[in-house]
Amino acid sequence: MRAINIQKCYTCDMGISRLQTKQAAQKHLPILPVFSRVVLLGVVGMSLLFFGRSSPTPAKAATLANPPSTDVYQVNSPHWSHINVMDYGSDLRLLPAGTVQQSGYEWYARHVDFMSVAMATDSFVESHSTLSAQLKTMNPSIKTFGSTLDLTICQHRPCAMDQPVNDLQNAYPEDQYLHFSEDTTMTFIDLDQTVIKTITIPGCPEPQPITAACRAQTFIWHEARWFPNLNNTAWRQMMSAQLIERLIHNTDNTPDPIDDLYLDEHGFDTTFGYQATVTSGGAIREYNGLAPWNNATPSVRNAFDAAYNADVVSWLTYLRAQVTAAGKTMHINTGEYFMNALEFQQALAAKGVMTEWLNAPDHFRFGAPMYSQFIDQVHQMTSSGGMVDLAYSWCTEMPAGYNAGNYPTSTDRYSMWNLASYYMSKEFPSESGRVYFNPNLCIHPNAPDPLDFEQQWLKAYEKDVGQPVDTATIIQHGAVSCSTNNKEYGIFARHYTNAYVLLRTRDDYNCLDYGDTTAVTVPLASSMVLLEPDGTFSAPMNSVSIRNGEAVILFPAPDTIAPAKVTDLHTK
């Protein structure tokens, strides 16, 4: 389901627990928009090119060196030549002040190439932060990004009903908002699906003047929002200038050098239908009376989506030009909706995207055909100079039955899948864009050990796989009993100069068994060793078992005993 704006804001610091976020997402994610089904059918057809044979065949032999005994590390970013690391890290500023907080900053500066810092804007009232400047004294080439909203205007600051009214946004000229052209009744619903209130908004049809009373609005998380008029030239100029200024200075005019603008909530989610249901009316004056899809016929629905998305793309193209001229970059959060055609247009326009909640072994949207599309879209981003943050979520919860598989723990298995997925999508050295691996570190500022996130970092991330030499392809496939759509599992493979990566995504949306009974054997053309989470290697093997939602990273078996644990080149 889709509508005028974006529902998701999983990275916003609005006092919403991660559990609430996940529960809220699970209630509406399994619904594919019509255009997604069309795209999926096309991808399924294309996937026949990959699914030519059903019997397992030996994996192609890789021309590789023995596992490297050392991994080159640089104090300044990029820390490693084989991996670009990006982590949200925003909760660092909540660590206990003093030596603990300083230690956390130093650890991030030694491990991460791109991370989030607080940025004061009209949407989020943050305390003035100098974190970006502090990080750059420890790692001059580290990049930072600041988060805000652009497609909705919070009625309170900061985006919560129990906070003061957002008088600054109220001061904007009325033609910088969208308005209902007919009387509209809406019901606002909380994250737990309880009704907050029902409101009736009067319409402002032509030729009546527009007023604040008929502004189009919605409800997201804990706050009612208005919509800016993206086509308004004055709004574009004002908003772009304001956003760029916040990348340079705090609101008190103190220096705050931030490299990248991160725009949250670009997921074209169910704004009218999930937490804000329109029960009557809903036509938007600035869109010639078109209404979101759940209030109109399918033909009108498609027209509204196309028209609104075209304006979002136009706005992002304009903003990116301004940001580029200021020497900055930008990216948007489409979340898992990166796979949808409209959101992908936005990502290309912004030349940067975050795939929050998408890049995971248990994501329902995957399956071999969709994962092929995912890899292709990432490549389209990087080949055009764009940036992709392969994020999932923070404080990851394993799905039921997700066992350890080839690894010591189920958490290790989950993390190694995310690492392998990064290697499946990573840019070629010749491409101008960048794909960033996101370890999705979970920071607990109030934990007995607030620095326990350091233990979530795997030494496997540091093992030098080299550079990609080909694109990811399906080298083995076969039937799975869990699929009601005759889907097949697919084993993706990609060669690196030092390693060989194999990945199996979730077989189908209803394939919820991730255990040993789902394992298939992948023959290897030569003896190889499996990279362990701690950076060591397994015993040599000539085949490997891969379960539903599992991946492995292999190196050629050494002529002698596999090297011991990778040396930590940046211990305190």
Report the alpha-carbon distance of residue 101 to residue 559 in Å, rounded.
45
Span of 27-31, 178-182, 448-452, 507-511 with lowest mean pLDDT: 27-31
What is the reported pLDDT for 2? Answer: 32
What is the reported pLDDT for 299? Answer: 60
Residue range 512-541, pLDDT digits in tens: 999 999 999 999 999 999 999 999 999 999
Is the pLDDT at 70 greater than 70? The verdict is no
* Burial track 103-128 (b if 16+ CB lie within 10 A, e otherwise): ebbebbbbbbbbbbbbbbbbbbebee
The answer to whether the bond into 556 is cis (omega within 30° of 0) is no
Two tokens, residue 141: 């080439």
- Calculated CA dihedral for residues 204, 207, 211, 213, nearest 10 degrees: -20
Residue 542 has phi, psi (to 5 degrees) of -110, 0
The answer to whether the bond into 448 is cis (omega within 30° of 0) is no
Contact criterion met (CB below 8 Å) for 503 and 424: yes
Residue count of the chain: 572
Select the more confidently predicted residue: 145 or 55: 145
**Residue listed under structure tokens 């500022």:** 445
**Residue listed under structure tokens 């019901």:** 187
What is the reported pLDDT for 168? Answer: 72
- Provide DSSP, 157-226: TTS-TTSPB-HHHHTS-GGGB-BBSS-EEEEEE-TTS-EEEEEEE----TTSPP-GGGB-EEEETTEEEE
What is the reported pLDDT for 469? Answer: 96
223-226: strand order across its sheet: 153-154, 223-226, 217-220
- Residue 42 — pLDDT band, cuts 50, 70, 90? very low
What is the reported pLDDT for 26? Answer: 36
Two tokens, residue 102: 């300083």
Residue range 311-340, pLDDT digits in tens: 999 999 999 999 999 999 999 999 888 998
Closest residue by Cα to residue 414 from 500, 537, 494, 503: 503
User: What angle is formed at CA 264 by the lines to CA 260 and CA 267, rounded to 5 degrees?
Assistant: 130
Q: Which residues pair with 276 in a beta bridge?
A: 188, 272
- Residue 498 — pLDDT band, cuts 50, 70, 90? very high
Contact criterion met (CB below 8 Å) for 522 and 543: yes
- Residue 294 — pLDDT band, cuts 50, 70, 90? low
- Residue 171 — pLDDT band, cuts 50, 70, 90? confident
What is the reported pLDDT for 63? Answer: 41
- Residue 482 — pLDDT band, cuts 50, 70, 90? very high
How much is the average pLDDT of 396-400? 87
Tally Cβ neighbours within 10 Å of residue 58.
Answer: 14
User: What angle is formed at CA 340 by the lines to CA 336 and CA 341, rounded to 5 degrees?
Assistant: 150
What is the reported pLDDT for 285? Answer: 97
* Burial track 248-268 (b if 16+ CB lie within 10 A, e otherwise): eebeeeeebebbbbbbbbbbb
What is the reported pLDDT for 5? Answer: 32
CATH number assigned to the domain covering 18-462: 3.20.20
- Residue 15 — pLDDT band, cuts 50, 70, 90? very low
Is the pLDDT at 96 greater than 50? The verdict is yes
Select the more confidently predicted residue: 257 or 157: 257
Closest residue by Cα to residue 407 from 246, 570, 547: 547
- Residue 554 — pLDDT band, cuts 50, 70, 90? very high
Report the alpha-carbon distance of residue 452 to residue 431 in Å, rounded.
36
How much is the average pLDDT of 277-290? 91
What is the reported pLDDT for 120? Answer: 63
Question: What does pLDDT average to over the chain?
Answer: 83
Closest residue by Cα to residue 403 from 550, 506, 535: 550
What is the reported pLDDT for 274? Answer: 74
Q: Residue 234: helix, strand or coil by DSSP? A: helix
Three-class secondary structure assignment of 307-359: HHHHHHHHHHHHHHHHHHHCCCEEEEECHHHHHCHHHHHHHHHHCEEECCCCC
What is the reported pLDDT for 295? Answer: 56
How much is the average pLDDT of 400-427? 97
Residue ranges of the domains in the chain? Answer: 18-462
Two tokens, residue 218: 């919605």
CA diameter of the chain:
83
Select the more confidently predicted residue: 407 or 62: 407
Q: Look at strands 276-280 and 488-495 and give their pairing.
A: unpaired
Q: Residue 63: helix, strand or coil by DSSP? A: coil
- Residue 271 — pLDDT band, cuts 50, 70, 90? low
What pTM value is reported for the model? 0.85
Q: Which residues pair with 260 in a beta bridge?
A: 145, 329
Is the pLDDT at 367 greater than 70? The verdict is yes
What is the reported pLDDT for 166? Answer: 82
Report the alpha-carbon distance of residue 319 to residue 239 in Å, rounded.
9
What is the reported pLDDT for 9? Answer: 33
Closest residue by Cα to residue 108 from 131, 81, 82, 83: 131
Q: For the purposes of burial, counting CB atoms within 10 Å of the CB of 302, is it exposed (0-12), middle (13-18) or buried (19 or more)?
A: middle
